[in-house]
Structure 1
Amino acid sequence: MSIKVMIVDDSAVMREVMQQMLQGYADIEVIGAAMDPLLALQKMERAWPDVILLDVEMPRMDGITFLRQIMSTRPTPVVICSTLTEKGADITLQALAAGAVEVICKPTSGLRDFLQASVQELVGAIRTAARARARPSAPMPAPEFKRSADALLSLPGNALLNQRTTERIVVMGTSTGGTQALEHVLCQLPLNAPGIAIVQHMPEKFTRSFAQRLDSLCAIEVREAQDGDRILPGRALIAPGGRHLLVRRSGAQYLVEVRDGPLVSRHRPSVDVLFRSAAVHAGRNALGVIMTGMGDDGARGLKEMHEAGARTCAQDEDSCVVFGMPKEAIRLGGVDQVVSLERIAQVVTEWR
């Protein structure tokens, strides 16, 4: 069965090129396109889509208002198509908080060439969205080669640097649905919560705005990580989009390293890289938490943490938008406990 898609964008070029690109995929059917949400609603009354491709800034009704209306009346997976600007990042983060499951970045010019070069990203986002909350869709084909965390950091034999210190850290990894899940967890944490390093799969230019949004909502400090930042109680550091985040140990203290490098488990930043570094440099002094997300990034890294003596936790299926990453981590045997989203903040707070 094909994935039925509705395109809502005020750019005629955007609508035309998206439809042309998606025609070549047997598992995707564009059932309509509209220049604004009001026209889209009229068409959707006749045929409801499985996935909505949604622009944010449009005439008559903006994308966020439309998204909130859809989520309150008939929840449907939404992929946001947003421009690569700081303003666009702020608005898109509001859309993610309102329930969108994926983000596709588009430039302010050269849309046709950009979209033609990014068709696989667009198709992947549609397939991911269609599978959110157990919606059926055709599986996304995996590339022939997928790098592991070995590309950035090797696991030493038995010489893990996991001697106990007074410092305790938490490393968290998430993807699809993670923006809402992280907001829910971090907003519950007290000022004396353990220091946290986070990888959320998110495009470049969005992570700084995401961190600033969370910082304005949470009691703890939340900021985009910079190379050399210390992991301190009451602080959460979020990996910059497009760069890997690693944990390092300096004496009895922990800090982060922000590093360029190849895609690992198809991502940069990669949860596997963060978790591998925690296994090597923190061991039993770390808590690893894997949350909602498509795919398996972080599953192997969490098992490595488990084998290094760390405590490990996975979000349960019922509270995940997509039970992909936690499911794979559980399958590999690297999870000590499976808890609901409601309980993750408690698990983090008690890790001292």
Structure 2
Amino acid sequence: MTIRVLIVDDSATMRALLGELLRREPDIHVIGAAADAAEARVLIREHNPDVVTLDIEMPGMSGLEFLDKLMRLRPTPVIIVSGMTREGADTTVRALELGAVDCYAKPDGRIGSLLTADSGRLAELIRGAAKVQVRERATIVDARPSLIPAPAPSPHSERPAMIAIGASTGGVEALHLVLQGFPADCPPTVIVQHINGQFAEAVARRLDQQCTPKVTIAEPDLPLKRGHIYLAPGNERHLQVRGSAA
């Protein structure tokens, strides 16, 4: 199956470089390139791409504004293309909350080095994104409390010693929804999230701001404590826990 991709970036150089990278892949077809949100809307209506790569910083409507509208009106797998400044990383995490499924880091040095440094990374992300079933973002219909009381806890129930969570591509939005309900004294919680390694710390910072428990990046030999959530370092697909949780 050929994956049809739309590139959205205000830099003509970046559009050309991303297009060159993707044209090397026999299963990926670039259906067009847009310099701003207005052009992107037209191309999306005309071609209905399978995946969109989206720059955050664009003239007129920003990438975040465009993403928010796209997820509400025409849910499509989106990969955010962003610089690796702290501000850029934090904005990318906000985009993941809005429904983007993955992120791709622009090179720190000469932009032309992307052609040799990429090593198929962007194509790999696009193939993963194309498999994600993106749904329309939920909207609050009725904010009133439920009239059905919550069931009473069983007198024999026990709190788990530890909680482990695994999230694949596109899971950041769901993580935010789940973790916001965790109490301050939650059991030690470990998370493995499919995320570009360069953005993992920004994800942890954002979760820490929004959640009651403390959220940090997991480190070797770090004791697990109640009220703490540990996110695997970027590009790590496994976390090993030894002994018992505190």
1:187 aligns with 2:180: yes
Give the secondary structure class of the aligned counterpart of 2:183. coil
CA distance in 2, matches of 1:60, 1:131: 31
Tell me by how many angstroms 1:105 deviates: 0.8
Alignment of 1:111-260 (within 5 A): 111-133=111-133, 168-241=161-234
CA distance in 2, matches of 1:21, 1:212: 31
Distance in 2 (alpha carbons) for counterparts of 1:36 and 1:239: 35
Distance of aligned partners of 1:23 and 1:205 in 2 relative to their CA distance in 1, 3 Å threshold: closer
| RMSD (CA atoms) | 2.2
- 1:108 Cα deviation from its structure 2 partner: 4.0
SS of the residue aligned with 2:131?
A: helix
Alignment of 1:55-70 (within 5 A): 55-70=55-70
1:225 deviates by: 3.1
Question: Structure 1 residues 224, 14: CA separation in 2 closer, same or farther (over 3 Å shift)?
Answer: same
Indicate how the Cα distance of structure 1 residues 132 and 60 shifts in structure 2: closer, same or farther if over 3 A, else same.
same
Aligned to 1:34: 34
Counterpart residue type for residue 31 of structure 1 = I
- Unaligned residue ranges in structure 2 (runs of 5+): 135-158
Distance 1:122 1:109 in 2: 18
Aligned residue in 2 for 1:95: 95
Query: Which residue identity lines up with residue 269 of structure 1 in the other structure?
Result: E
After superposition, the C-alpha distances for 1:142-186 in whole angstroms (9 at most, x for unaligned) are: xxxxxxxxxxxxxxxxxxxxxxxx992223332312211221211
Alpha-carbon distance in 1 for matches of 2:23, 2:198: 30
Amino acid at match of 1:270: R
Q: Deviation digits for residues 48-81 of structure 1, max 9, x if unmatched?
A: 1110011111111111111111100010000111
Q: Is 2:236 the partner of 1:269?
A: yes
* Cα drift, residue 220 of structure 1: 1.4
Amino acid at match of 2:208: D
Contact 1:7/1:53 (<8 A) preserved:
yes
Amino acid aligned to 1:204: G
Relative to the length of structure 1, the TM-score reads: 0.59
Query: Which SS does the other structure have where 1:133 is aligned?
Result: coil
Counterparts of 1:35 and 1:236 in 2: how far apart (Å)?
40
